[in-house]
Chain A
Amino acid sequence: DVKVTQSSRYLVKRTGEKVFLECVQDMDHENMFWYRQDPGLGLRLIYFSYDVKMKEKGDIPEGYSVSREKKERFSLILESASTNQTSMYLCASRKYGTGKLQPQHFGDGTRLSIL
Protein backbone atom coordinates (compact mmCIF):
# COMPACT_ATOMS: atom_id res chain seq x y z
CA ASP A 1 0.00 0.00 0.00
CA VAL A 2 1.01 3.55 -0.66
CA LYS A 3 2.10 5.36 2.44
CA VAL A 4 1.99 9.13 2.75
CA THR A 5 3.41 10.25 6.07
CA GLN A 6 3.08 13.69 7.56
CA SER A 7 5.61 14.45 10.24
CA SER A 8 3.18 15.66 12.91
CA ARG A 9 -0.50 15.05 13.63
CA TYR A 10 -0.74 18.10 15.89
CA LEU A 11 1.44 21.21 16.00
CA VAL A 12 1.22 24.44 17.97
CA LYS A 13 3.28 27.46 16.94
CA ARG A 14 3.38 31.17 17.67
CA THR A 15 2.59 34.10 15.41
CA GLY A 16 5.61 35.15 13.39
CA GLU A 17 7.40 31.82 13.61
CA LYS A 18 8.69 30.05 10.53
CA VAL A 19 6.91 26.70 10.36
CA PHE A 20 7.88 23.62 8.39
CA LEU A 21 5.39 20.85 7.58
CA GLU A 22 6.96 17.73 6.15
CA CYS A 23 5.45 15.06 3.94
CA VAL A 24 7.09 11.85 2.74
CA GLN A 25 5.75 9.21 0.34
CA ASP A 26 7.27 5.81 -0.26
CA MET A 27 5.97 4.91 -3.72
CA ASP A 28 8.19 6.94 -6.04
CA HIS A 29 5.30 9.22 -7.00
CA GLU A 30 6.05 12.18 -9.24
CA ASN A 31 3.20 14.45 -8.16
CA MET A 32 2.76 15.80 -4.66
CA PHE A 33 0.21 18.27 -3.26
CA TRP A 34 -0.46 20.40 -0.20
CA TYR A 35 -4.04 21.27 0.76
CA ARG A 36 -5.57 23.00 3.73
CA GLN A 37 -8.98 22.08 5.04
CA ASP A 38 -11.23 24.44 6.97
CA PRO A 39 -14.81 24.01 8.18
CA GLY A 40 -17.30 25.09 5.55
CA LEU A 41 -14.60 25.61 2.91
CA GLY A 42 -13.59 22.07 2.03
CA LEU A 43 -10.11 21.27 0.75
CA ARG A 44 -8.21 24.07 -0.92
CA LEU A 45 -5.01 23.56 -2.87
CA ILE A 46 -2.01 25.56 -1.67
CA TYR A 47 0.85 24.29 -3.84
CA PHE A 48 1.67 21.25 -5.90
CA SER A 49 4.75 19.76 -7.47
CA TYR A 50 4.95 17.83 -10.73
CA ASP A 51 8.35 16.39 -9.93
CA VAL A 52 11.58 17.08 -8.11
CA LYS A 53 12.45 20.79 -7.94
CA MET A 54 9.21 21.71 -9.71
CA LYS A 55 6.38 23.60 -8.07
CA GLU A 56 3.17 25.31 -9.04
CA LYS A 57 0.89 27.63 -7.10
CA GLY A 58 -2.51 26.35 -6.23
CA ASP A 59 -5.56 28.40 -5.30
CA ILE A 60 -4.28 29.93 -2.05
CA PRO A 61 -0.46 30.16 -2.09
CA GLU A 62 -0.16 33.48 -0.26
CA GLY A 63 1.87 33.19 2.94
CA TYR A 64 3.26 29.78 1.98
CA SER A 65 6.21 28.36 0.09
CA VAL A 66 7.27 24.82 -0.73
CA SER A 67 10.39 22.77 -1.29
CA ARG A 68 10.83 19.57 -3.30
CA GLU A 69 14.53 18.72 -3.22
CA LYS A 70 13.95 14.96 -3.25
CA LYS A 71 11.24 13.00 -4.99
CA GLU A 72 9.86 11.46 -1.83
CA ARG A 73 9.65 14.64 0.23
CA PHE A 74 7.49 17.73 -0.17
CA SER A 75 7.76 20.44 2.46
CA LEU A 76 5.31 23.24 3.13
CA ILE A 77 6.73 26.37 4.73
CA LEU A 78 4.85 29.10 6.52
CA GLU A 79 7.31 31.98 6.25
CA SER A 80 5.82 33.99 9.12
CA ALA A 81 2.93 32.17 10.71
CA SER A 82 -0.31 34.04 11.30
CA THR A 83 -3.45 33.08 13.18
CA ASN A 84 -5.44 32.75 9.94
CA GLN A 85 -3.16 29.87 8.99
CA THR A 86 -4.57 27.76 11.80
CA SER A 87 -5.98 24.81 9.88
CA MET A 88 -5.76 21.13 8.99
CA TYR A 89 -3.03 20.60 6.40
CA LEU A 90 -3.19 17.58 4.11
CA CYS A 91 -0.47 16.22 1.87
CA ALA A 92 -1.15 13.95 -1.10
CA SER A 93 0.87 12.17 -3.74
CA ARG A 94 0.09 10.59 -7.08
CA LYS A 95 2.00 8.71 -9.72
CA TYR A 96 2.04 10.49 -13.05
CA GLY A 97 0.30 8.49 -15.75
CA THR A 98 -1.23 9.09 -19.15
CA GLY A 99 -4.40 7.34 -20.23
CA LYS A 100 -4.74 5.66 -16.87
CA LEU A 101 -6.28 6.59 -13.55
CA GLN A 102 -3.81 7.53 -10.92
CA PRO A 103 -5.72 8.42 -7.76
CA GLN A 104 -4.28 10.70 -5.15
CA HIS A 105 -3.17 9.16 -1.87
CA PHE A 106 -3.48 11.33 1.20
CA GLY A 107 -1.72 11.49 4.52
CA ASP A 108 -3.72 11.76 7.74
CA GLY A 109 -3.11 15.48 8.08
CA THR A 110 -1.41 17.91 10.44
CA ARG A 111 -3.64 20.02 12.63
CA LEU A 112 -1.73 23.27 13.03
CA SER A 113 -2.65 25.90 15.59
CA ILE A 114 -1.05 29.34 15.47
CA LEU A 115 -1.33 31.25 18.76
Chain B
Amino acid sequence: DAKTTQPPSMDCAEGRAANLPCNHSTISGNEYVYWYRQIHSQGPQYIIHGLKNNETNEMASLIITEDRKSSTLILPHATLRDTAVYYCIVRVLSGNTPLVFGKGTRLSVIA
Protein backbone atom coordinates (compact mmCIF):
# COMPACT_ATOMS: atom_id res chain seq x y z
CA ASP B 1 0.00 0.00 0.00
CA ALA B 2 1.09 3.53 -0.68
CA LYS B 3 2.31 5.33 2.41
CA THR B 4 1.10 8.73 1.26
CA THR B 5 -2.17 10.63 1.10
CA GLN B 6 -2.86 13.26 -1.55
CA PRO B 7 -5.96 15.17 -2.61
CA PRO B 8 -7.48 13.60 -5.72
CA SER B 9 -7.57 16.81 -7.74
CA MET B 10 -6.59 20.47 -7.76
CA ASP B 11 -6.92 23.44 -10.09
CA CYS B 12 -4.40 26.19 -10.63
CA ALA B 13 -4.47 29.33 -12.77
CA GLU B 14 -1.80 29.57 -15.44
CA GLY B 15 1.18 31.60 -14.25
CA ARG B 16 0.37 31.13 -10.59
CA ALA B 17 2.18 28.85 -8.17
CA ALA B 18 0.76 25.35 -7.81
CA ASN B 19 1.12 23.94 -4.31
CA LEU B 20 0.52 20.20 -4.11
CA PRO B 21 0.30 18.73 -0.59
CA CYS B 22 1.21 15.24 0.54
CA ASN B 23 0.80 13.56 3.92
CA HIS B 24 3.22 10.82 4.93
CA SER B 25 2.73 10.54 8.68
CA THR B 26 4.31 7.06 8.94
CA ILE B 27 7.52 7.95 7.12
CA SER B 28 10.64 6.29 8.52
CA GLY B 29 13.91 8.03 9.30
CA ASN B 30 15.68 6.63 6.25
CA GLU B 31 12.86 7.21 3.78
CA TYR B 32 12.95 9.97 1.23
CA VAL B 33 10.03 11.83 -0.33
CA TYR B 34 9.93 11.49 -4.11
CA TRP B 35 7.68 13.25 -6.59
CA TYR B 36 6.80 12.02 -10.05
CA ARG B 37 4.25 13.27 -12.53
CA GLN B 38 2.42 11.69 -15.43
CA ILE B 39 1.24 13.75 -18.33
CA HIS B 40 -1.58 12.25 -20.36
CA SER B 41 -0.46 9.45 -22.71
CA GLN B 42 3.07 9.44 -21.32
CA GLY B 43 4.93 7.43 -18.72
CA PRO B 44 5.65 8.93 -15.27
CA GLN B 45 8.48 11.46 -15.06
CA TYR B 46 10.75 12.05 -12.06
CA ILE B 47 10.53 15.61 -10.62
CA ILE B 48 12.39 15.94 -7.33
CA HIS B 49 13.21 14.21 -4.08
CA GLY B 50 14.26 15.16 -0.52
CA LEU B 51 14.93 13.84 2.97
CA LYS B 52 14.39 16.69 5.43
CA ASN B 53 15.78 19.87 3.90
CA ASN B 54 13.89 21.87 1.32
CA GLU B 55 15.00 21.17 -2.23
CA THR B 56 14.79 23.08 -5.49
CA ASN B 57 15.61 22.22 -9.05
CA GLU B 58 14.70 23.54 -12.48
CA MET B 59 11.27 21.95 -12.35
CA ALA B 60 10.01 22.50 -8.82
CA SER B 61 10.62 23.09 -5.12
CA LEU B 62 9.97 20.62 -2.34
CA ILE B 63 9.11 21.83 1.14
CA ILE B 64 9.21 19.18 3.89
CA THR B 65 7.85 19.95 7.36
CA GLU B 66 10.19 19.73 10.31
CA ASP B 67 8.50 16.58 11.63
CA ARG B 68 8.66 15.13 8.06
CA LYS B 69 5.03 14.04 8.25
CA SER B 70 4.01 16.11 5.27
CA SER B 71 5.44 17.94 2.31
CA THR B 72 4.45 20.31 -0.49
CA LEU B 73 5.55 20.30 -4.10
CA ILE B 74 5.61 23.79 -5.56
CA LEU B 75 5.53 24.58 -9.25
CA PRO B 76 6.37 28.29 -9.11
CA HIS B 77 4.77 29.41 -12.37
CA ALA B 78 2.40 26.74 -13.60
CA THR B 79 1.83 26.39 -17.34
CA LEU B 80 -0.76 24.44 -19.28
CA ARG B 81 1.88 21.78 -19.93
CA ASP B 82 2.07 21.12 -16.18
CA THR B 83 -1.40 19.61 -16.28
CA ALA B 84 -0.76 16.05 -15.09
CA VAL B 85 -1.23 13.57 -12.27
CA TYR B 86 1.36 14.18 -9.55
CA TYR B 87 2.51 11.29 -7.36
CA CYS B 88 4.14 11.63 -3.95
CA ILE B 89 6.08 8.52 -2.91
CA VAL B 90 8.18 7.63 0.12
CA ARG B 91 10.91 5.01 0.08
CA VAL B 92 14.53 4.47 0.97
CA LEU B 93 17.10 6.23 -1.19
CA SER B 94 18.60 3.35 -3.06
CA GLY B 95 18.58 -0.37 -3.50
CA ASN B 96 16.37 -2.58 -5.58
CA THR B 97 12.97 -1.97 -4.02
CA PRO B 98 10.42 -0.60 -6.47
CA LEU B 99 8.30 2.50 -6.15
CA VAL B 100 4.81 2.20 -4.73
CA PHE B 101 2.50 4.65 -6.47
CA GLY B 102 -0.69 5.89 -4.86
CA LYS B 103 -3.51 7.52 -6.77
CA GLY B 104 -1.86 10.91 -6.97
CA THR B 105 -3.30 14.38 -7.46
CA ARG B 106 -4.70 15.40 -10.81
CA LEU B 107 -3.55 18.98 -11.34
CA SER B 108 -5.43 21.00 -13.92
CA VAL B 109 -3.78 24.25 -14.98
CA ILE B 110 -6.40 26.61 -16.33
CA ALA B 111 -5.78 29.46 -18.76
Contacts and interface: CB of A to CB of B under 8 A. Distances in A.
Interface residues of B, number: 23
Nearest to A34: B98
Contacts, number: 65
A31 B44 CA distance: 16
A40 B94 contact: no
Interface stretch (B13-21, B59-67, B70-78, B99-107): B99-107
Interface residues of A, number: 30
24 contacts: A31-B96, A35-B101, A42-B87, A42-B101, A42-B103, A43-B87, A43-B99, A43-B101, A45-B98, A50-B96, A92-B43, A96-B94, A96-B96, A98-B94, A99-B94, A103-B46, A104-B36, A106-B42, A107-B43, A108-B41, A108-B43, A109-B41, A109-B42, A109-B43
Contacts of A98: 94-95
Nearest to A105: B46
Could you tell me the dominant secondary structure of chain B's interface residues? loop
A101 B93 contact: yes
